[in-house]
Structure 1
Amino acid sequence: MHDERGGVVRSVILFACVLALLAAASLAAGGYFAYREAARPGPLAAEKVVLLAPGSSVAAIGEKLEEEGVVRNAQLFAAAARVKGVQTKLKAGEYRIPPGASVLEVIDLLVEGKSILHSFTAPEGLATAQILRLLEADPVLVGEITLRPGEGELLPETYRFTRGATRDGMIRMMMKAQDALLDELWDDRALDLPFDTREEAIILASIVEKETGVPSERGRIAAVFVNRLKRGMRLESDPTIIYGLTGGEPLGRGLRVSELRQETPYNTYIIDGLPPTPIANPGRASIEAVLNPPETDELFFVADGTGGHAFASTLEEHNRNVARWRRVERERRQGG
């Protein structure tokens, strides 16, 4: 009787083991086939851009990808992400999905967060109001502009951002970029500069920026203005007059003699020293130029007819350069 009960128990245990083994084998087979399915090429026949909203759950992401034809099955995508332990590491954003991307490859792409980068370029020498208009017109940036940066507080450059970035966020980025640049350059500035603050450096750099479109001239023009300030000479810069008249908008014509004499806080033919604010947003090269200008004795420059300028150390030499420029202007008018 005892042996019979023992035999029954052993049979039950054996049967349970067999069932467990079959279940394990079934799970293993299921896992194998699921992995094979997740690893095989996906249904996309051509590259596709997909936007995944912030805060989406792994299930919602799977449903969006299935809806866009990126994956065949949303549940398989979610299960694969959980098996890999990355269901909370999938990043929202705008993604360029390559054709035939497998579920596993899509998961890796979303974990790495390699979303599409867009760019915004603020050209050197624009007034702040002009840069804000460019931000308003950008088709990818979102949100209204509520920040009002001062003149010269933005660093002109090309900035990269992902879809969903705000216009205010871009303004903050440009302001921080200028602060970081000044942190980098300020302590290595030349000795005996005729200004004491970063704000004054930006004012002078903005004038240099507006005076020439020839990159190789920035240093010499900065040196001329530094030399004039050291000697107590007025800057006599036409762009400062224009800023006093238009607030940084293009004048659209040449300056009149009456405007050269018009009293504004920005007319450097009349005021001593620097104007009260920058007249534009200077780029890195102009800021570097005023902080470390080349050592010259040049005090004057005038257009030379080629897009650049003729420089002079004496008034006599400068007057000859001016006379040559006047001849060029006359010939152009006659030729026109």
Structure 2
Amino acid sequence: MSSGMKTKRNRWRSVATVGLGAIAATWSGGLWWRQVSAAPHQGQDGDPPVLRFAVPTGAPLSAIARELEAAGAIRSALALRLWLEWQNRMAGQPKVLQAGTYDLSLGWSLAEVVAAMQRSRSSEVRVTIPEGWNLQDIGQRLAAQGGFSNEAFQAAARNPQTWQTYTWLPPDLTSLEGYLFPDTYQLPAGNLTPEAAIGILLRRFEEVGLPMYQTYRQRTADPLSLHEWVTLASIVEKESVLDSERRTIAGVFTERLQRGMRLEADPTVEYALGVRQTKEQPLTLAQVRTESPYNTYLVAGLPPGPIAAPGKASLAATSDPEPTEYLYFMARYDGSHIFSRTLAEHERAIAQVEAQLQNRN
């Protein structure tokens, strides 16, 4: 064989080797990218967890990427930086992650996480749901921001299909009263459905309230069920104004329950009637005698369900009520209460508050 033919054959062999190497590199690179850009929760059973992640103003991309990877929101910090670099080259202008607080599903791919964090925060509205609000209050507030009616919200909040994926909720639940966690939220402006809004508030309860209940259940000899716990906490929420009294009020109700006494809580009557008493218009005797499963002046034990959305402080107080001999308390209308051990003491407290009110008038 001539030396020329050998040289040509070696050249083709080198070209083939380089070609195969390029194909292998491309294939392995594609495999790597599929792995690192996939959702962290991909292929796992159950609903993907949701991670709350904050991006401070001015935070460098490298730090954000490392923290996202460490938190489990993405599989690779390097992949995120490469994805943004590719976006920048394609767009011809910088693509950045917006500062703000995000609820990131671990079922999202890298591209979905980046898209969520590039969305302008101006397209969101800040909505606060105060502690002690009921479904009607919450629906009115969200309807004003979400682009849906309060009627649609109430229907969704009473439709079990809305919460069927939240398996930690009581199985026989008829409404989400008490389970939509009061907090401040960043919500999409104008394009939110009732179901999506409910999902955001339910996930916050799952993040904050559910771990509190699990801790309470582990350390309590005879714990309340989740539904009972939320129900009692909702009454504590409506009765409490001062944080310094919250555990005492929870202790009074706990003591009355243990003794088999009726709770006799005004907010349960207000909830049953759909009214709110004031110092100018307190509940009447006829209203207090209204028959309702929620009227704890007539019905022993807890009402059928929560009467409002309890906040973290009331859930904590219900988890750890103050041991007390008090069985009664009377509101002074300035937020504080007079606590009494006996009915006679309580009647004197009532007379004292009424006299003070008359003197002011």
Same fold by TM-score greater than 0.5: yes
Residue 171 of structure 1: how far off its partner (Å): 1.2
Q: Which runs of 5+ in 1 are unaligned?
A: 1-80, 91-102
Instruction: Provide the C-alpha distance between the structure 2 equivalents of 1:148 and 1:307, rounded to a whole number of angstroms.
Output: 31
Check the 8 A contact 2:236/2:314 in 1, yes or no: yes
Q: Secondary structure at the match of 1:225?
A: helix
Work out whether residues 210 and 280 of structure 1, in 8 Å CA contact, stay in contact via their aligned partners in 2.
yes
Aligned to 1:155: 181
Q: Which moved more, 1:165-174 or 1:281-290?
A: 165-174
Contact residue 303 and residue 310 of structure 1 kept, 8 A: yes
1:309 Cα deviation after fit: 0.4
TM-score norm. by structure 1 comes to: 0.63
**Which AA in structure 1 matches 2:192?**
T
User: How far apart are residue 286 of structure 1 and its match?
Assistant: 0.9
Q: Give the 3 Å change call, closer, same or farther, for CA 282–107 of structure 1 in structure 2.
A: same
Compute the displacement of 1:227 (Å): 0.7
What letter matches 2:200 in structure 1?
Answer: M
Q: How does 1:77-156 map to 2 (within 5 A)?
A: 84-86=85-87, 104=93, 106-109=94-97, 113=118, 115-116=120-121, 117-138=124-145, 141-142=146-147, 145=152, 147-149=156-158, 150=175, 151-156=177-182
Aligned residues: 235
| Counterparts of residues 2-13 of structure 1 (less than 5 Å) | none
Instruction: Report the counterpart of residue 200 of structure 2 in structure 1.
Output: 173
The RMSD of aligned alpha carbons is 2.8
Say whether the 8 Å CA contact 1:206–1:286 is kept in structure 2: yes
Offset, 1:257? 1.0
Distance in 2 between the 1:83 and 1:293 partners?
51
- The letter of the residue matching 1:177 is R
**How far apart are 1:182 and its partner, in Å?**
3.3
> Aligned partners of 1:234 and 1:182: how far apart in 2?
26
> 1:257, 1:275 → 2: CA distance?
20
2:254 aligned with 1:234: no
Structure 1 position 267, deviation (Å) = 1.2
> 1:216 deviation in Å?
2.2
1:108–1:214 distance in 2 versus 1, CA, 3 Å: same
Match of 2:249 in 1: 221
Q: Check 1:229–1:88 CA distance in 2 against 1; reply closer, same or farther (3 A cut).
A: farther
The 3 A distance-change label for structure 1 pair 82 and 261 is closer
Sequence identity percentage: 35
Larger Rg: 1
Q: Contact (CA 8 Å) 1:185, 1:288: kept in 2 or not?
A: yes
Structure 2 unpaired stretches of 5+: 1-81, 99-113, 159-174
Structure 2 match to 1:68: none
Shift of 1:305: 4.6
TM-score of the aligned structures, taking structure 2 as reference length: 0.59
Q: Distance in 1 between matches of 2:84 and 2:262?
A: 73
Q: Would the aligned equivalents of 2:88 and 2:95 in 1 still touch at CA under 8 Å?
A: no
CA–CA separation in structure 1 for the residues paired with 2:84 and 2:129: 45
Query: Does the aligned pair in 2 maintain the 1:304–1:321 contact within 8 Å?
Result: no
Corresponding residue number in structure 1 for 2:15: none
Aligned partner of 2:40 in structure 1 is none
Cα distance in 1, alignment partners of residues 188 and 338 from structure 2: 45
Match of 1:282 among 303, 310, 334: 310
